[in-house]
Amino acid sequence: MPRIVAHVDMNAFFAAIEQNAHPEWKNEPIVVCVFSGRTLDSGVVSSASYDARKLGVRAGMPIVQAKQLCAKGHFVPVNHTLYGQISDQIFTRLFAYGDAVEMASIDEAYADLTQKTQGDYAHAERLMREFQQKIQKEFNLGCSVGIAPNKLLAKIASDFQKPNGFTIVKPESVQSFLDPLPVKSLLGIGPKTEQQLVEKNIHTIAQLRACGAGELVALFGAARGQYFFHASRGIDESPLETNYEKQQRSSIWTLQRDTQDWNELRALVREKALELWDETAAQGKFFTQISVVGVDIALKQMTRSTTLNVACVSSEQLFSEVEQLFQSLLSNAPLPLRRVGLRVGGFASPPKQKRLNEFFG
């Protein structure tokens, strides 16, 4: 049965909520900000309405710069409690449309539609158009939807025709959809990686796909090189992380200094990973699922996850996996991180060690 995954991305979510709260601002630019409190204008932009974006305002931009570009805009502080409440209400409704739901951040989620639709893309389209219309009617909020064979492609599809877009990528059209897109469309390709590729005259996903696996591994290391090799072909077998497992352990903490540099995070993350390992190992719990979490200065949450074929058996293996996940997350993070965390789950029995003679048949 063909796998079908939908990705829902709310359009300018924070700014749209503020627009609803202030109908007198209709068709006027709205900029949602994280004010630092040092001065009236110190801090960064968290979100901007599409009217403000047309003037060049972007998330992560200093408020002072945003005001220069958008002098007549309405600059309001982030109201994360309100946004979280509305997010919960919206995505609770998504459970009625899919077999499983993964919250990717406060304003986006994945839904697995495979069983619900029995692999029928026409049925998936009907369901998600109904959901899109329901959210518009009930909350006066728009969203963009992507439907595809996996999470990677669904995410790219939802970004394809914003705002209020609706894009379907069927299995037979994966490559024709991906090939013309710029390399930055792939998750994990941030500005630094994009620059590395552009310097090698690789601008599109088609050009990236033309690279051999060995060349990509040489450029980016084994984990990222293999990821780019598969991603450029639309291959992604990652499951939805539903975050509803009863058996899981997590740790999240606030950094002393906002950063995007793995070298600054490495020692602290290693310490926390070892603590998490000691806690679970002491209880005889061995896990197959590992996730890392980052919350940036605009309060946007990002996650990266992996599922092992057999349970993790050492603290060094845990840290190795965590390091690769964080490097992937940081390469695609547009803003410095304020909080980071680890989560493990999918507890299982430890794998049996092979006897030496098993390696020789």
Residues involved in catalysis: 108
Place of tokens 């005259």: 201
In order of 106, 266, 278, the CA distances from 85 in angstroms are 10, 34, 35
The residue count of the chain comes to 361
- The whole-angstrom separation of Cα 258 and Cα 238 is 29
Q: Do the Cβ atoms of 254 and 339 come closer than 8 Å?
A: yes
- C-alpha span between 13 and 30 (Å, rounded): 11
Sheet holding 74-77: strands in order across? 43-48, 30-35, 74-77
Beta bridge partners of 6: 111, 147
Name the DSSP letter for residue 234.
T
3-state secondary structure of 147: strand
User: What is d(CA 322, CA 252) in angstroms, rounded to the nearest whole number?
Assistant: 14
Structure tokens of 97?
């449309």
- For residue 173, give every residue at least 6 positions away whose Cβ sits within 8 Å of its Cβ, in sequence order, or none: none
Contact by Cβ (8 Å): 54, 38 = no
Separation between Cα atoms, residue 8 and residue 13, nearest integer Å: 12
Report cis status (omega within 30 of 0) of the bond before 163. Answer: yes
